Copies of this chain bind each other. A is one copy, B any other.
Amino acid sequence: MLKIYDWHMAPNPRRLHIFIAEKGIPVEYVEVGGENVKLADWYLEKYPHALTPMLELEDGTCIGEVPAIWRYLEELYPDPPLLGSTPKEKALVIMWEAFARDDAFYRAGDVFRNTHPAFADRGLPGTKESIPQLPELAARGRAAMARFFKKFDTQLASNEFVAGDHFSAADITTLCAIDFAKWADIHIPPEAKNLQRWYDAVSARPSTKA
What 13 new A-B contacts, CB under 8 Å, besides A55-B91, A65-B98, A131-B143? A57-B88, A63-B91, A64-B95, A65-B99, A68-B95, A68-B98, A72-B91, A75-B87, A123-B140, A124-B144, A129-B143, A134-B134, A137-B137
C-alpha spacing A209/B64, complex, angstroms: 31
Kindly list the 8 A-B residue pairs having the minimum CB-CB distance in the complex, ordered from nearest.
A75-B87, A68-B95, A68-B94, A72-B91, A68-B91, A65-B98, A65-B95, A63-B91
Q: Are A91 and B71 within 8 A (Cβ)?
A: yes
C-alpha spacing A127/B102, complex, angstroms: 12
Residues 85-109 of chain A: 1 if any B CB is under 8 Å from the residue's CB, otherwise 0? 0011011101100110011000000
A61-B88 contact in complex given A67-B98, A68-B98, A124-B140, C-beta closer than 8 Å: yes
A120 CB → nearest B CB, Å: 15
A162 CB → nearest B CB, Å: 13
Instruction: Check A121 for interface membership: any CB of B closer than 8 A.
Output: no
13 contacts between A and B (CB under 8 A): A49-B99, A61-B88, A64-B95, A68-B95, A69-B91, A71-B87, A71-B90, A72-B90, A75-B90, A76-B87, A127-B147, A129-B143, A134-B140
